[in-house]
Amino acid sequence: MFAFVIFLISLLCWSTISYGGLISPLFLPTPGAVLMAVMSLYQNFNLLQDIGISILRILLGFGLAAVIAVPLGMVLALNNIGEAVIEPVLSFIRYIPPSALLPLFLLWFGIGETSKIVLICFGVLPYIAFMVYDVVAQTKTELVDAAYTLGAGNADVVWKVVVPSSLPGIWDTLRINIGAAWTFLVLAEIIASSTGLGHLIITSQRFIKTPNVIGAILIIGILGYLTDLFFKITYNMFFPWTEKSHASA
Amino acid sequence: MLQLKHVSKTYTQNGQHVEAIKNLDLSVKECEFIALVGPSGCGKTTLLKIIAGLASPSGGEIFLDGKKILNPGKDRGLVFQQFTLFPWLTVRKNISFGLDLQNLGIKKKTGIIDHYLGMTGLNNFAEFYPKNLSGGMQQRVAIARTLANNPKILLMDEPFGSLDSQTRSQMQEFLTKLWEAEHQTILFITHDVSEAAFLADTVYVLSKRPMGIKQMFSVPFTRPRVHALKHTKEFFEFENKIAQELER
């Protein structure tokens, strides 16, 4: 409800400024023009294909990062030796802006799909690993102790206490980081791509088609919102037992 | 059955050498209900953790039925002061946690779980998650979870310490009833003198830093005990005697 009101107010401001002629349509086109542009992109320029390829890149790059980073973060948290060896390496990588590595990725992997997927993966992987590490490290000692006194061995404690108690936090970690994945995707598509929403933005900008640029940005926003909604709904579905969850028992 | 021989514990905190437990001897007989009373922060929890095998003593040895204790094990059930139910498991699955680690048939397992659900009055809450239970109910589940494992001794670390006073006295009455029915060996730790006197057969008063046993009291009250006992003159006098020893 509150979100809807904010949306309406924003739309109202936008309409007033653009239809009122306060700013040249070159800089800020009207909502109507943006809508027309999106329709035209859909009808004449295969908009759905651009959206589809962008989503596919996200899924592959982010999926690959998650598959590597989640177990990595867990191992780091559970294992002191691993921490000593891998943590400095991850910290080092974390402070390199992935955008700075894009030229290298292009050189190594070409301008095809691989370089984009590697960039997304590389961009989010250290963050996912660190946040998962934090979640796992915060497993309550009392729960671990309780499991031991109930006869659990080390493996039982990992699989029956640490993993289930960490899953909601890991799910939240993924939800937060998939947003960052979009940043790296658009970056890759702007610099070197002939498809995708990022490519649409940069070509439209070259031909000064501002309505297209804003249309593409709004589409990314809507996709992000839907992704977040997906994570929220599945969170309540998977973890009805958390204090945060609104699902009933 | 449980024997502590010259148990001591020292550790270093902020560069200072702290002697938490000094030369503590204690033996618990089968079916005995023992309460240890000590001031807050005297190292009671540390002692219980050592007996549970979650911490190791700096000196001395502990034996359960003649076997030296080195690790945690299901023969020593521990009920904590904090709520330690697994929040992702329902009440039934929490009680089942220890049983699932053993090779029991489904039928036998269900029988045990149902028995303890009934005994703790939680039949109607079997499919609830802990977040939907009150504090008293959560501790009842924790007790059921520990007892379902059939431990030789039940270690209780101020299990009612974080409950409000009304729930607390309900839980005390529940525990006496439970003991009268099952005759489980219990080592109960508390800083509440009245709680110790109401529940136990024998009360040991502990001294502060380093912790040791100051005095032993045999509780003169017959069982079954009901809440009204706490309002008798005899109970009040006995409680006072322990309290004086504690403060001395």
Q: pLDDT tens digits for A2-45?
A: 888 998 999 999 888 888 888 888 888 888 888 888 888 888 88
Domain-located, residue B65: no
What is the tally of structural domains in chain B? 1
Taking CB atoms and an 8 Å limit, are A145 and B82 in contact across chains?
no
Q: Is A30 on the interface with B (CB under 8 A)?
A: no
**Shortest alpha-carbon distance between residue B67 and chain A (Å):** 17
pTM: 0.85
Summarised one tens digit per residue, pLDDT across range B7-21 is 988 888 888 888 888
Summarised one tens digit per residue, pLDDT across range B182-230 is 888 999 999 899 999 999 999 999 988 788 888 888 888 888 888 888 8
For B140, the domain range is 82-150
Domain-located, residue B197: no
In percent, how much of chain B has pLDDT > 90?
50
Interface list for A 228-247 with B (CB within 8 A):
239-243
Instruction: Count other Cβ atoms within 10 Å, centred on residue B139.
Output: 29
Residues A151, A89: contact at Cβ < 8 Å?
A: no
Say whether pLDDT at B125 is over 90. Answer: yes
Q: Is A143 on the interface with B (CB under 8 A)?
A: yes
Domain-located, residue B37: no
Angle in degrees, 0-180, between the axes of helices A163-191 and A47-78, rounded to the nearest 10: 140
Domain-located, residue B90: yes
Residues B2, B64: contact at Cβ < 8 Å?
A: yes
Question: Could you give phi then psi for residue B140, rounded to 5 degrees?
Answer: -65, -40
What's residue A121's pLDDT? 93
Residues A216, A232: contact at Cβ < 8 Å?
A: no
Domain-located, residue B195: no
CA distances from residue B73 to A20, A117, A141, A148, B154 in whole angstroms, order as listed: 76, 48, 17, 7, 12
Summarised one tens digit per residue, pLDDT across range A155-167 is 999 999 999 999 9
**Of the partner residues B76, B84, B127, the one whose CB lies closest to the CB of residue A146:** B84
Taking CB atoms and an 8 Å limit, are A150 and B146 in contact across chains?
yes
Q: Is A151 on the interface with B (CB under 8 A)?
A: yes
Taking CB atoms and an 8 Å limit, are B86 and A164 in contact across chains?
yes
Handedness of CA B202, B32, B98, B142 (dihedral sign): negative
Quote the tokens at residue B80.
């904590």
Say whether pLDDT at B57 is over 60. Answer: yes
Residue of B nearest to A240 (CA): B88
Which residues of chain B approach chain A closer than 8 Å at the C-beta?
A: 49, 52-54, 72-74, 76-78, 80, 82, 84, 86-89, 97-98, 101-102, 127-132, 145-146, 149
Does ipTM top 0.95?
Answer: no
Summarised one tens digit per residue, pLDDT across range A194-249 is 888 888 888 888 888 888 888 889 999 999 999 999 999 999 999 999 988 765 44
**Shortest alpha-carbon distance between residue A212 and chain B (Å):** 47
The one-letter amino acid at B162 = S
Taking CB atoms and an 8 Å limit, are A145 and B97 in contact across chains?
no
Mutate to test the interface with B, among A141, A148, A150 (most CBs of B within 10 A): A150
**Of the partner residues A148, A151, A241, the one whose CB lies closest to the CB of residue B88:** A241
Q: Rounded to an integer, what distance in angstroms lies between the CA atom of residue A164 and that of residue A160?
A: 6
Quote the tokens at residue A184.
């790296």
Taking CB atoms and an 8 Å limit, are B78 and A147 in contact across chains?
no
Quote the tokens at residue A214.
């804003």
Q: Rounded to an integer, what distance in angstroms lies between the CA atom of residue A221 and that of residue A146?
A: 45
Chain A residue numbers with beta carbons less than 8 Å from the beta carbon of B128 are 249
Quote the tokens at residue A192.
């070197």
**Shortest alpha-carbon distance between residue B182 and chain A (Å):** 19
Taking CB atoms and an 8 Å limit, are A242 and B87 in contact across chains?
yes
Residue of A nearest to B55 (CA): A145
Taking CB atoms and an 8 Å limit, are A150 and B98 in contact across chains?
yes
Q: Is A141 on the interface with B (CB under 8 A)?
A: no
Domain-located, residue B56: no
Say whether pLDDT at A89 is over 90. Answer: no
Q: State the average pLDDT over residues B93-113.
A: 93
Domain-located, residue B68: no
Chain A residue numbers with beta carbons less than 8 Å from the beta carbon of B73 are 149, 151
Domain-located, residue B194: no
**Shortest alpha-carbon distance between residue A248 and chain B (Å):** 9
Residue of A nearest to B82 (CA): A142
Mutate to test the interface with A, among B69, B88, B138, B149 (most CBs of A within 10 A): B88
Q: State the average pLDDT over residues B94-116.
A: 92
| B187: enclosing H helix or E strand | strand B185-190
Residues B190, B37: contact at Cβ < 8 Å?
A: yes
Sketch out chain A's domains with CATH numbers: 53-238 (1.10.3720.10)
